[in-house]
Amino acid sequence: MVAHSRISKRAAANDSENSLQPPAKKGRRKTMDFKDKLINYGKAYNRNGNMWVTPEQAIEAKLLFLEQEGLEDPSSPSSPTLDKDAKAAQDYLRSAYSHLKSTYPSLVEDMTRNEGAERDFMETKLEEGADRARMADTHAIRSAVLHNEIYSFEPLLCQIDKTQWGYHHVGTAHLLFPVVKDLSEANERDVHQIRAGMVQIGCGIFYNFMWEGYSPVDPKNHLKGAFRGQILLNAYFIIFFGLSTVTCPQNQLDSLRRGRKCNAARNGIKSVSMQAIVYVTTLVRFALSSDTSLSPGNPHIGNHGFSYSGFYRSLVNFLDGPNPSRVRQKFRAELLQWWNTKCFPKGTAYSDDDDTTVAATTADLFDEEEIEGEEEGSME
């Protein structure tokens, strides 16, 4: 299946919107309601579904999968088994579509009823909503970081040059220090090489800001306190409930949210999801960095162009990937319980021959610990 170009889709969507506009005022209000609904679904999907797989891509992928399944002949030999990466990519797209359908309950019905330009109109408005949410939330978190509203930086961050943030500021450098083997914040050489870009920080690396207390609290159990950093919690409050909820007492949080026209209410969000935790973590990673634009990046480049889409996908795999071990499954359940209680109360070693260090991914580190933990558990 060949997808339409984005330009042609937008043009067709505009024509469709105009053609759907009836002369009567009552009919116009009905059309605007449908458009607004699509935009709102797009916003909800971006925040609680997948920020890098657009609604259009998720829908087109689903249609392609259905087409391929329909062309399969049961009597013919089975198709070649997909390799690990291809299967992971396909599962990632299927998961994105599943989240879109969960966010937009009548998606299949509306897509079936509308074809051609009308379907293009739907996809365009969904994507418009997703783009709006990502831009607004990115700005909100960046502004909160700059103005010390979710973390107190001393000295203050430079207001006119974001390239002085990241590893060029003592506060953001600490929060962005990678949690990997053989890298120590107490080692000046490590800090210097990271600041100079001599350490390749891949998209599968985790950072101090993601931990409770802003650093791993237990050397023997790196998962303890992970994804519980206060800066992440504050960022979630800002995006879903509003800036004022960051400073309000815990016992007033629920009453302050009730009746507010916050994003959680608009998007129909009543609990914290893994996708929302991943979304918030990605935006905080960007806000703390010296990067000036939030772009997907290239997952194969590393520190010469950080891959935010790769980082996001690694978090999705870690927190919501299929077939988790017993250790990770327990970690996920406890993490969601912690977040919902808070938000909804009721590397490899250096080489002497090479100044460039390739850090092992945090996921690999945790996988090793999980295997050891499960082996110990099986002996009891």
**Residues 158-183: tens digit of each pLDDT:** 999 999 999 999 999 999 998 887 78
pLDDT value, residue 71: 55
Q: In the structure encoding, which two tokens stand for residue 257, read together?
A: 């949210």
Question: How many whole angstroms separate alpha carbon 272 and alpha carbon 342?
Answer: 10
Amino acid at 367: D
Question: What is the predicted pLDDT for the residue at 16?
Answer: 46
For the chain, the domains span: 6-71+82-130, 147-379
**Does residue 133 carry a pLDDT above 90?**
yes
Q: Which residues, in sequence order, are CB contacts of 331 under 8 Å at separation 6+?
A: 223, 226
Give me the torsion for CA of 213, 218, 223, 229, rounded to 10°.
0
Are 340 and 272 in contact, with CB atoms under 8 Å apart?
yes
- Model confidence at 47, pLDDT cuts 50, 70, 90, reads very high
Who contacts 198 (Cβ-Cβ below 8 Å, separation ≥6)? 355, 356, 357
Q: Dihedral through CA 326, CA 331, CA 334, CA 337, nearest 10?
A: -110
Q: Which residue has the tokens 């110990």?
A: 376
How many alpha carbons lie under 13 Å from residue 182 in its C-beta half-sphere?
A: 12
Task: Give the mean pLDDT of 12-17.
Answer: 47
φ, ψ (nearest 5 deg) of residue 226: -70, 140
Token pair for 221: 């159990």
pLDDT at 32 over 80: no
298 pLDDT tier (thresholds 50, 70, 90): low
Tell me, what's the pLDDT at 333? 96
| Mean pLDDT of all residues in 38-42 | 94
Does residue 325 register a pLDDT over 50? yes
Distance, in Å, from the CA atom of 286 to the CA atom of 355, rounded to the nearest integer, reads: 26
CA distance 99 to 91: 12
Q: Encoding tokens for residue 61?
A: 């992928």
Q: Is the pLDDT of residue 211 over 90?
A: yes
pLDDT confidence of residue 210: 96
What pLDDT band is residue 369 in, cutting at 50, 70 and 90? very low
> Are the C-beta atoms of residues 246 and 239 closer than 8 Å to each other?
no
Q: Where are the beta strands (DSSP E) in the chain?
A: 199-200, 357-358
For residues 321-338, average pLDDT: 93
The residue type found at 295 is S
Q: Is the pLDDT of residue 72 over 60?
A: no
Confidence of residue 256 (pLDDT cuts 50, 70, 90): low
Average pLDDT of the chain to the nearest whole number: 79
